[in-house]
Amino acid sequence: DIVVTQSPDSLAVSLGERATINCKSSQSVLYSSNNKNHLVWYQQKPGQPPKLLIYWASTRESGVPDRFSGSGSGTDFTLTISSLQAEDVAVYYCQQYYTTPYTFGQGTKLEIK
């Protein structure tokens, strides 16, 4: 199985500042046939289901604010929130969809400092 590990487990950032969350997979999720990284980011707020933010490691889902961006390739990925807003308080998960079982990171809890 591909193990997906996020860091840090929790993060406190001031409003308007940058937040960075890392995600590392135990093997590459770059698929040679399409040259795409099979890595996605979700946001989950309390009492709600996850919400798709970014797919193919760096493609923003429709309707997601452009302060959210994803980067990385192979085994190392980053979710960046360029200017933290109060509504961004949530737990963020990455997930690999390269191969079954489709594993998630353990989550990163983002709070306001």
Burial class (CB in 10 A: 0-12, 13-18, 19+), 69: middle
- What's the min distance (Å) between Cβ of 107 and other proteins? 5
Could you say which of 16, 33, 100, 113 contacts other proteins (CB under 8 A)? 100
Question: For tokens 């099979």, what's the residue?
Answer: 38
Contact status: 95 vs other proteins (CB under 8 A): yes
- From residue 107, give the alpha-carbon distance in Å to each of 15, 17, 33, 103: 21, 20, 29, 12
- The 36-65 contact track toward other proteins, x by CB under 8 A, reads --x-x-x-x---xxxxx--x-----x----
CB of 15 to other proteins, least distance (A): 26
